[in-house]
């Protein structure tokens, strides 16, 4: 079937990359993007990194910071698509090949890219339809959108006491940013911070640095949010109750798949694609919304670089079918906080001490490597200056990839 009308649902990095990849592959037909947010694509990782550390939180009427946010925006799109901002997909008829919009309109398609992303989980109950909304208690903030980031920065201006719920990368980055602006910060995590994502060895490095910078870390099991007039209060499973002026929840995300109910595309609530990003010959999916095949099985990996890599493959999969290359996923992850910057290639939930460790030029600088089997190793740089291609080679082939082999002795 010749595709002359392609609809992309989602205007984040996966949707943007899919559009660019379609054009780069020679697609010159009609291209329409449906974007639930009212902003052009922007760098979401910057919201918990650079944005929290700059300026005073003032913004213009569109939610754009007047003092630094534009530095984190992505370049203007060049894909020449019709972009519908502030419009959500409300339904999908795969037989009629029609996307239904929340305003009542419809978009027919020959090919469809589903890149509707995910939203932040909350402790307080959500009200109403799913989507990029800020439901629940106003005392419980999340950090997912530009509006979330601006709201958080404005609240931090008064230096409130802060409870951060969740010890993953986002929770730790938020806690670091709050400490940096002078807040008293307590982080609640049911396990050692970052241990699920990075393993105990790397978690220990980051947790030690966090405590050294003034972070209070509290365990106690699953948290429950209690709204009150005095402030945000959280009850833990062990009976502990904590209170602060502000509660920031960073307990994960939920894929935006509700609009696909009744489409027969969901399997056990998941959007599971094949190795070319396909759900059908005329429908592909990429980014936070999609679960895809990895060495560890079919899983959803909501990372910025994962969304980009998936979208490139899915776009070609939509155009070329079985002739398209399959997705060969190699995770890349980075996080910053408490004076540390970590970049990692490979599966990061590493076990035990590293097989290889090289110190850098300062006490907090390390180059580490685990399990150097072909294609399954993990390489990590902490405050260590190394190009990413070189870090990938270290993950794939071990430390021998970083320097010439010693000459043979005859």
Three-state secondary structure along 154-185?
HHHCCCCCEEEECCCHHHHHHHHHHHHCCCCE
**Residue 338: predicted pLDDT:** 96
pTM equals: 0.89
Q: What are the φ/ψ torsions at residue 126 (nearest 5 degrees)?
A: -85, 150
Distance of CA 224 to the CA centre of its chain: 24
Contact 117, 288 (CB under 8 A): yes
**Residue 408: predicted pLDDT:** 45
Q: What is the distance between the terminal CA atoms of the chain, rounded to a whole angstrom?
A: 63
DSSP 8-state assignment for residue 126: P
Domains present along the chain, CATH in parentheses: 5-41+77-117+256-323 (3.50.50.60), 45-74+122-251 (3.50.50.60), 332-399 (3.30.390)
**pLDDT per residue over 316-351, tens digit each?**
999 999 999 999 888 899 999 999 999 999 989 899
DSSP 8-state assignment for residue 346: S
Residue with tokens 């099991």: 221
pLDDT < 50 stretches in the chain:
55-68, 71, 128-134, 406, 408-410
**Residue 40: predicted pLDDT:** 87
**pLDDT per residue over 164-205, tens digit each?**
999 999 999 999 999 999 999 999 999 999 999 999 999 999
Distance CA 150, CA 251 (A): 20
Residue with tokens 């049911």: 190
Please name the residue ranges forming H helices in 243-365: 304-320
Distance CA 238, CA 363 (A): 38
Q: What are the φ/ψ torsions at residue 9 (nearest 5 degrees)?
A: -95, 105
**Residue 69: predicted pLDDT:** 52
**Residue 330: predicted pLDDT:** 86
Please name the residue ranges forming H helices in 143-283: 146-156, 169-180, 195-212
Buried b (16+ CB within 10 A) or exposed e, 153-179: bebbeeebbbbbbbbbbbbbbbbbbbb
Q: Which of 391, 385, 369, 372 is nearest to 305 (CA)?
A: 391
**Residue 23: predicted pLDDT:** 97
Helix axes 169-180, 195-212, angle to 10 degrees: 20
**Residue 341: predicted pLDDT:** 95
**Residue 5: predicted pLDDT:** 98
**Residue 171: predicted pLDDT:** 97
Distance CA 40, CA 47 (A): 15
> Count of CB atoms within 10 A of residue 106's CB?
13
3-state SS, residue 22: helix
Residue with tokens 């639930």: 36
Contact partners, residue 273, CB within 8 Å, separation at least 6: 279, 284, 285, 286, 290, 291, 292, 314
Q: How far is CA 347 from CA 24, 34, 198, 287, in A?
A: 30, 33, 8, 18
Parallel, antiparallel, or unpaired for β 98-101 and 106-108?
Answer: antiparallel
The kind and range of the H/E element at 394 are helix 388-397
Contact partners, residue 251, CB within 8 Å, separation at least 6: 121, 122, 123, 165, 166, 168, 171, 223
Does the CA dihedral 264-269-270-271 come out positive or negative?
Answer: positive
Q: Which of 52, 43, 42, 44 is nearest to 337 (CA)?
A: 52
**Residue 111: predicted pLDDT:** 98
**Residue 295: predicted pLDDT:** 80
Parallel, antiparallel, or unpaired for β 271-272 and 290-294?
Answer: parallel
């Amino acid at each position: 079937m010749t595709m002359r009308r392609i609809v992309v649902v989602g205007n984040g990095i996966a949707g943007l990359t899919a559009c660019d990849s379609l054009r780069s592959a020679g697609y010159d037909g009609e291209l329409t993007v449906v974007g639930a947010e009212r902003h052009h694509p922007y760098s979401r990782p910057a919201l918990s990194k650079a944005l929290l550390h700059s300026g005073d939180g003032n913004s213009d009427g569109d939610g754009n910071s007047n003092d630094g946010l534009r530095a984190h925006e992505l370049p203007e799109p060049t894909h020449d698509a019709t972009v519908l901002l502030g419009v959500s997909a409300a339904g999908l008829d795969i037989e009629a090949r029609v996307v239904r919009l929340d305003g009542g309109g419809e978009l027919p398609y020959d090919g469809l890219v589903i890149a509707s992303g995910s939203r932040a989980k909350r402790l307080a109950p959500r009200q109403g339809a799913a989507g990029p909304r800020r439901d629940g208690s106003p005392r419980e903030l999340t950090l997912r959108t530009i509006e979330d980031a601006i709201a958080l920065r404005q609240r931090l201006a008064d230096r409130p006491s802060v409870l951060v719920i969740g010890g993953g990368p986002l929770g730790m980055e938020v806690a670091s940013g709050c400490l940096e602006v002078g807040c008293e910060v307590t982080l609640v995590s049911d396990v050692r911070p970052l241990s699920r994502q990075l393993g105990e060895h790397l978690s220990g490095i980051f947790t030690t640095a966090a405590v050294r910078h003034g972070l209070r870390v509290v365990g106690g099991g699953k948290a429950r949010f209690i709204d009150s007039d005095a402030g945000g209060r959280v009850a833990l499973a062990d009976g502990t109750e904590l209170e602060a002026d502000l509660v920031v929840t960073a307990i994960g995300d939920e894929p935006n798949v509700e609009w696909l109910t009744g489409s027969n595309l969901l399997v056990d609530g998941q959007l599971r694609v094949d190795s070319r990003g396909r759900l059908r010959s005329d429908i592909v999916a990429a980014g936070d919304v999609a679960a895809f095949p990895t060495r560890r099985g079919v899983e959803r990996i909501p990372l910025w670089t994962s969304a980009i890599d998936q979208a490139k493959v899915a776009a070609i999969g939509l155009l070329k079918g079985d002739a398209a290359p399959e997705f060969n996923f190699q995770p890349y992850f980075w996080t910053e906080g408490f004076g540390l910057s970590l970049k990692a290639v490979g599966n990061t939930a590493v076990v035990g001490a590293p097989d290889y460790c090289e110190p850098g030029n300062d006490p907090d600088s390390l180059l580490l490597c685990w399990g150097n089997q072909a294609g399954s190793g993990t390489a990590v740089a902490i405050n260590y200056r190394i190009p990413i291609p070189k870090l990938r080679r270290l993950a794939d082939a071990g430390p021998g990839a970083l320097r010439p082999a010693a000459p043979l002795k005859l």
